[in-house]
């Protein structure tokens, strides 16, 4: 995740801060809000398989094989924070 904030410059990504990338990748790796699965801090307490999934997702985003916008929407939905479209 260290490379992601630097890579965000010049890309149309919804986030630019390291903790935001961590939220998105860890939530998607866990299938729910990561704090429901992992005691903070995640970098110390996350099980290796979850970290491996998060790293693979991050690498896929960096290599344009995964959509960070979609992963962010899923993370927000998992947390009940997805804004509904204006109607």
Domain range annotation of the chain: 3-78
Of residues 34 and 87, which shows the higher confidence score?
Answer: 34
When pLDDT is cut at 50, 70 and 90, the band that residue 82 belongs to is: confident
Omega of the bond leading into 41 within 30 degrees of 0 (cis): yes
Take residue 86 and report the two structure tokens written for it: 């204006």
- pLDDT given for residue 87 in this prediction: 44
pTM of the model: 0.90
* Most distant CA pair in the chain, distance: 43
Question: What is the per-residue DSSP string for 40-68?
Answer: SPHHHHS-HHHHHHHHHHHHHHHTTSS-H
pLDDT tens, residue by residue, 25-44: 999 999 999 999 999 999 99
Residue where the block lists tokens 């990561």: 34
- The per-residue pLDDT for 2 is 58
């Amino acid at each position: 995740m260290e490379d992601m904030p630097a890579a965000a410059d010049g890309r149309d990504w919804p986030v630019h801060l390291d903790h935001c990338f961590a939220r998105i990748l860890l939530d998607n790796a866990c299938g729910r809000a990561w704090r429901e699965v992992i005691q903070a801090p995640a970098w110390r307490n996350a099980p290796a398989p979850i970290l491996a999934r998060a790293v693979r997702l991050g690498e896929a985003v960096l290599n344009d094989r995964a959509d960070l916008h979609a992963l962010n929407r899923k993370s927000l939905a998992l947390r009940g924070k997805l804004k509904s479209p204006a109607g």
